Amino acid sequence: MPMIKYRICSIKNTEDSTKIISVEALDKKIIFKPGQFVMLHIVDQNGQSADKRPFSIASSPNSSTIEFCIKILPEGRFTQKLDKLDVGDTLGIEGPLGTFYYNHERSAVFIAGGTGIAPFISMLRYIKENRIMGDFVLFYSVRTQKHILYKRELEQLAKATNIKIIITITREESTKWNGEHGRVEEQMLKKYLANPKDYRFYICGPVNMTSSLHNLLVSIGIKEENILFEGWG
């Protein structure tokens, strides 16, 4: 699969060392489905790949740019190189890749942990832009309030009549927080889903989280074919 060159057109830094990076095609652009990932390349002076890592796309397929939500890790070889780049620099994109994408279901539950929110931002933007009617629920698990990515956009999405947003924090007790506390578990799912078996489930986050949730869903009667998950670590 060929690597296509993109130019960084914007960089937004969040409170928790995560970068929201948008890129625009220098020539042709890739066509992807909401939720897919690509291989992102840092290129050398000759335009050749110097390093690469897989990242989910956060933008909708309808967007003229491609957006990534990337945690900059102190020990991360790739992300430390990425952190040194600026607007105007070039990146390479190879893809799209993966079978983890929204397939026009009318009843879907999305469960995200940390930067695992990225593919669901793509999916929810796509659902909103295309005015897809249905029953959509996002559970988003983060450590603390400062770790909530896309907070304002999620608040706006929650105003859409067919998208419900539940954010839960796992490592902070605060009287100023009106959302949920703790991990996404059976009790929380049943609090917001009248009948979990009516939905298709998408899970993205650290592999221990995705594995645990997969086992939980199977234990409460969700069929394997109705569970899609993607994890890392």
Distance CA 41, CA 181 (A): 37
57: helix, strand or coil: coil
**Regarding beta strands 107-113 and 200-206, do their DSSP bridges make them parallel or antiparallel, or are they unpaired?**
parallel
Question: Domains of the chain (ranges plus CATH)?
Answer: 3-97 (2.40.30.10), 107-232 (3.40.50.80)
Q: Please give the Cα distance from 125 to 116 (Å, whole number).
A: 15
Taking a C-beta distance cutoff of 8 angstroms, is the pair 151, 123 a contact? Answer: no
Question: In terms of DSSP bridges, do strands 135-142 and 163-169 run parallel, antiparallel, or are they unpaired?
Answer: parallel
- 50-76 pLDDT, tens digit each: 999 999 999 999 999 999 999 999 999
pTM of the model: 0.95
Instruction: Determine the Cα–Cα distance for residues 182 and 223; give it in Å rounded to an integer.
Output: 25
- pLDDT confidence of 159, banded at 50, 70, 90? confident
pLDDT computed for residue 172 by the predictor: 82
